[in-house]
Amino acid sequence: MPFPVAVELIHRTGAKLGVRFPPSYVDRMSAENGGSITLDDEDWALYPIFDDSDRQRLKRTCQDVVHETEEARAWPGFPEGAVAIASNGSGDQLVFLPVSGGGLDEAPWRWDHETGEVTRVGEG
């Protein structure tokens, strides 16, 4: 079950990854840290932002955006500088791609783990 997370923790996560998250993502995650979304008729489980403010939140967020992005970056064909934000349960990742100046594209992209193909999904 998703729960709110402090915006400061989202910014700390971005700093660990060397990026700035899009404002719409910050808004979404601050209201509901994790959960699921459907984009282009595909269901995605959002990775939470690590939250060590209490034991329950620590337990719920240990498989966070930083951990999952570090894992994904070790896979062949994962886009350079991309940040993994969700999984479809089949190995594919929903990612944000880097843009100039350390930010991330507002639009989410689907990375296919078998082909390495990256396609834009949703409205961004």
Cα maximum dimension of the chain: 40
Domain regions of the chain by residue span: 7-120
pLDDT classification of 59: cutoffs 50, 70, 90: confident
Structural tokens at position 25? 């993502």
Instruction: Give the span between the Cα atoms of 34 and 28, in whole angstroms.
Output: 9
Question: Which of 100 and 86 is assigned the larger pLDDT?
Answer: 86
Q: Are 51 and 33 in contact (CB under 8 A)?
A: yes
Domain range 7-120, its CATH number among 3.40.1350, 3.40.1580, 3.30.43, 1.10.20: 3.40.1580
pLDDT classification of 122: cutoffs 50, 70, 90: confident
pLDDT digit string, tens, across residues 10-52: 999 999 999 999 999 999 999 999 999 999 999 999 999 999 9
Q: Are 70 and 39 in contact (CB under 8 A)?
A: no
Average pLDDT over residues 106-119: 96
pLDDT classification of 82: cutoffs 50, 70, 90: very high
One-character DSSP codes across 30-98: HHSSS-EEEETTEEEEEPPPP--SSHHHHHHTSS-HHHHHHHHHTSTTPPTT-EEEEE-SSS-EEEE-B
